[in-house]
Structure 1
Amino acid sequence: MDSTAPRTTEANGIRIEANGIELACRTWGPTDAPPVLLLHCRGADGADWTHVAERLAAPPRPRRVYAPDLRGHGHSDWPGDYRAETMSDDVRALLAALGHDSADVVGHSLGGLVAYLLAQRHPGVVRRLVLEEVGAPVPLDPPRPPAERPAEEPPFDWAMIRGTDEQRNAPDPVWWDHMDRITMPTLVIGGGPTSLIPQDHVAQLAALIPDASLVTVAAGHLVHESRPAEFLAVVREFLDGRLVTDDS
């Protein structure tokens, strides 16, 4: 797919100029409700959150939900620069363009990495932070080998795979060093023993963030897809300030 080719959004989608590119973003819920931003995993797009978003936007405590396509994914621009720091700048600019000084932020996998970098670098932007299936920023041992490009063109920029693999194999040490800057209430959700993410890395991430809570939902890597009711129950309680358990 040509990275400059026009791409259309779905019926509930908008396009926003942010950080020098255009981001596609799906929206749900009343415009005056508290905002929550959902950040998808690598290779997906904002539609991945539809089931969760519809329920977060519904009464009795509706929220204004935004689910953007990260750069290099779906209907957003594919500019070639796929550093996680740049993606976090995109998110900050997106929220500003939407008229929000801050929002609750939920990130899954790559989206979680982007979310915690946003929280480190711009802590005033994130009110509450949820990190689903995200490990501590430690170098992979052994390193992740080069991914084999599929025969059919994927719905994302293949350069994004190369760029994110490079950072995942050798994360910037600053990511680890600045975990203490994440001072907003934080919930870390692990997927249990069947996840492709080592759960000791998930627990390590939670231990690095001051006063973070860790909850395990034994669903594998795709917690919000495989066990949406449990995921939503935990996230709603946390966003409402009612979560009292540290593990389950």
Structure 2
Amino acid sequence: MNKIAVGGAQVAYRVDGKGPGLVLVHGTGGNSEANWGHLIPALINDWTVVRPDYSGSGMTCDEGKPIEVKEMAAQIVAAAEAAGVIPFDLVGFSLGSAISIVIAADYPHLVRRVILLGPFLSSKDPRQKVQFELWRDLIRTDRLALSQLILLTGFSPTFISIQGNEGVSAIIDGFMSEINWEGMARQVELDLSIDVSEAARRIEKPTLVIGCSHDHIVPSSQVKSVAAAIRGAQYTELYTGHLAHVEKPEEFILLLRSFLLSSDD
């Protein structure tokens, strides 16, 4: 584990592999190991993979102030620069996709290609606003219920059913133990206020936007609006819930490799 000072934060990041840079940006309540760790063996022979923990997650420490998307973007960029992987391919998941949109727009000289999994532009959608408000309230009052809710909305029904009762309990226990709850509460406040629509329109890098057919956290209709906002973006869909890279990691890796290894700069 490495750390770099960025503003008032000590940003933790992991570096694995060899080759050109690949930066992975996790989602709300996640961290660089929980979201991406299981994918690293499939990536390290082709890329130097950098996995930062932004504020509120993992081993990153900060002053506890409200989280701003541009500050999170600066944290990710600083970790990539410290790891010596400039320029880099950029993969963002959920809130990490919103942060990645800002990086691609504000630091275009650092980015080669962009993959956005389950992205959203803003929290203006009424359903999404209710969802994040519910997350915020359950973090305060019933974290077990929130872990159960994330399971139900984050995975497809088929995936949940085939886990069996023990598998489902293990996933929920994992959420309970791995999530930095106070940090997630701060990230949810960002989810409720974020708007990266203008940044999306400024992206001029090859971009792949991935929606998920059973996504009840960021429905595919919202993901398609992200693709429409980015000039020349490609859109594809996985037959999964929001946590597609967990539910069907092989299919996600196949999309990632195909796009990153075949796209023109």
TM-score band, normalised by shorter chain: 0.7 to 0.9
- What's 1:111 paired with? 96
Indicate how the Cα distance of structure 1 residues 38 and 69 shifts in structure 2: closer, same or farther if over 3 A, else same: same
The TM-score, its normalising length taken from structure 1, stands at: 0.82
The TM-score, its normalising length taken from structure 2, stands at: 0.77
- What's 1:181 paired with? 202
- What's 1:39 paired with? 25
Counterpart of 2:39, as a letter, is V
Deviation at 1:21, TM superposition (A): 2.1
Deviations, residues 90-141 of structure 1 (Å, cap 9, x unaligned): 1122222222332111011111111111111112121111100112325131
Deviations, residues 26-61 of structure 1 (Å, cap 9, x unaligned): 22112xx10101111111111121121221113xxx
Where does the alignment leave 5 or more consecutive residues of structure 2 unmatched? 145-175
Deviations, residues 153-176 of structure 1 (Å, cap 9, x unaligned): 874252x4444333333434xx21
Deviation at 1:191, TM superposition (A): 1.2
- The CA distance in 2 between the partners of 1:99 and 1:124, in whole Å, is 14
Counterpart of 1:185, as a letter, is P
Aligned partners of 1:186 and 1:211 also within 8 Å: yes
Local SS of the residue matching 2:14: strand
- What's 1:167 paired with? 190
Q: Find out whether 1:80 has 2:64 as its counterpart.
A: yes
Q: Find out whether 1:196 has 2:217 as its counterpart.
A: yes
**RMSD of aligned C-alpha atoms?**
2.2
- The CA distance in 2 between the partners of 1:100 and 1:18, in whole Å, is 17
- What's 1:54 paired with? 41
Local SS of the residue matching 1:178: helix
Whichever structure has more helix as a proportion of its residues is 2
Q: Find out whether 1:237 has 2:237 as its counterpart.
A: no
Where does the alignment leave 5 or more consecutive residues of structure 1 unmatched? 1-12, 244-248
Q: Find out whether 1:147 has 2:137 as its counterpart.
A: yes
- What's 1:205 paired with? 226
Counterpart of 1:231, as a letter, is F
- After the TM superposition, which residues 124-139 of structure 1 pair with which residues of structure 2 at under 5 Å, given as runs? 124-139=109-124
Aligned partners of 2:50 and 2:80 also within 8 Å: no
Deviation at 1:20, TM superposition (A): 4.0
Aligned residue pairs, count: 223
Indicate how the Cα distance of structure 1 residues 41 and 26 shifts in structure 2: closer, same or farther if over 3 A, else same: same
Indicate how the Cα distance of structure 1 residues 77 and 213 shifts in structure 2: closer, same or farther if over 3 A, else same: same
Instruction: Give % identity.
Output: 27
Aligned partners of 1:72 and 1:79 also within 8 Å: no
Local SS of the residue matching 1:24: strand
Local SS of the residue matching 2:137: coil
Local SS of the residue matching 1:79: coil
- The CA distance in 1 between the partners of 2:44 and 2:257, in whole Å, is 11
Local SS of the residue matching 1:147: helix
